[in-house]
């Protein structure tokens, strides 16, 4: 883990004090002023080293992610192979890849209709969960012809003996219902939640929608993170959660107490009535 700039600075100073002491000299960092050239020099080095270590950590994490996705036979590999599927394109004979000679990157990207995929262990096989995007950038399930073509492709590229046929999950977003009491600053927001300066008519609703869309595919929806996203809206003093519910397919709604794992891999507020916001002016005194 990358060291903080303060940790690096403290280590540099401690090393300098020890080296001075080794030759019978004394270094007194406690007496350095805020603008001491020696102090500033150590801080410049500390900040530079911290930035370098952070970059190395990010590069390492990225490389590990790539390796986990491309290493054959792993769950990540199956998800990556699903996203590499090109609708309407034939594989190279007896291979698990395409010959895209003559195609532009834009054309290739358009053929890659599986925009989201995750793979998990299932009894006697692997479960593959997928989704694509509509013209507005919303997650939606693949069409029946698209899913059938994906299944044929996966049966060609999968490992021998791995069962996939009955383990595809390709469905509409889980339904989400939320209710919040929003205690707001009347100097910033109006009674209907609009910004008084006219720059945004739905700042809270937009923050909620943005958070839902930001959740990685097939990851958990967390109420604390949702509330944090609302809290970050300028003018919101206290976002008080009243209720949260979710459901999938034809099942009834169930309460969300802490977090929720969407069965489809993603969530949506399907209609305006799914989000109830009561705006209450907050009195400081």
pLDDT for the residue numbered 7: 93
pLDDT in tens, 97-107: 899 999 999 99
**From residue 265, how far is each of 123, 140, 141, 197, 217 by CA, in Å?**
19, 10, 10, 38, 5
Closest CA to 225 of 260, 251, 188: 260
| Overall pTM surpassing 0.85 (yes/no) | no
pLDDT for the residue numbered 89: 94
When pLDDT is averaged across residues 187-205 and rounded to a whole number, the result is 96
Sign of CA dihedral 14, 16, 17, 21: positive
Percent of the chain scored above 70 by pLDDT?
Answer: 98
pLDDT in tens, 52-98: 999 999 998 888 777 766 666 788 889 999 999 999 999 999 888 89
CB 193 within 8 A of CB 205: yes
Q: How confident is the model at residue 205 (pLDDT cuts 50, 70, 90)?
A: very high
* Average pLDDT of the residues of the chain: 92
When pLDDT is averaged across residues 26-46 and rounded to a whole number, the result is 87
Closest CA to 81 of 135, 126, 143: 126
CB 48 within 8 A of CB 56: no
Instruction: Kindly state the DSSP code that residue 252 receives in the 8-state scheme.
Output: P
Closest CA to 46 of 14, 21, 23, 18: 14
pLDDT in tens, 121-148: 888 788 999 999 999 889 999 999 999 9
């Amino acid at each position: 883990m990358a060291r903080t700039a303060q940790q690096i600075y403290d280590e540099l100073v401690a090393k300098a004090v020890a080296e001075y002491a080794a030759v019978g000299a004394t270094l007194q960092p406690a007496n350095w002023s805020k603008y001491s050239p020696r102090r500033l020099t150590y801080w410049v080095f500390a900040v530079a080293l911290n930035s370098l270590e952070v970059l190395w950590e990010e590069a390492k994490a990225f490389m590990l992610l790539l390796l986990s996705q491309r290493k054959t036979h792993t769950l990540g590999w199956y998800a990556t192979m699903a996203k590499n599927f090109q609708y309407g394109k034939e594989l190279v004979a007896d291979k698990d890849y395409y010959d895209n000679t003559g195609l532009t990157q834009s054309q290739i990207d358009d053929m890659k209709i599986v925009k989201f995929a995750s793979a998990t262990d299932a009894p006697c096989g692997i479960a593959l969960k997928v989704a694509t995007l509509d013209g507005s950038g919303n997650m939606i399930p693949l069409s029946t012809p698209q899913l059938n073509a994906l299944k044929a492709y996966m049966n060609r590229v999968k490992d021998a003996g791995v069962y996939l046929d009955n383990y595809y999950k390709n469905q509409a977003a889980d339904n989400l219902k939320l209710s919040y009491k929003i205690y707001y600053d009347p100097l910033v927001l109006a009674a209907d939640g609009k910004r008084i300066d006219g720059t945004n008519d739905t700042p809270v609703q937009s923050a909620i929608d943005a958070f839902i869309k930001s959740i990685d595919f097939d990851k958990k929806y967390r109420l604390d993170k949702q509330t944090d996203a609302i809290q970050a809206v300028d003018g919101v003093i206290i976002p008080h959660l009243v209720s949260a519910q979710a459901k999938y397919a034809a099942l009834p709604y169930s309460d969300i107490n802490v977090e929720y794992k969407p069965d489809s891999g993603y969530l949506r507020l399907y209609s305006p009535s799914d989000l109830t916001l009561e705006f209450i002016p907050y009195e400081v005194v």
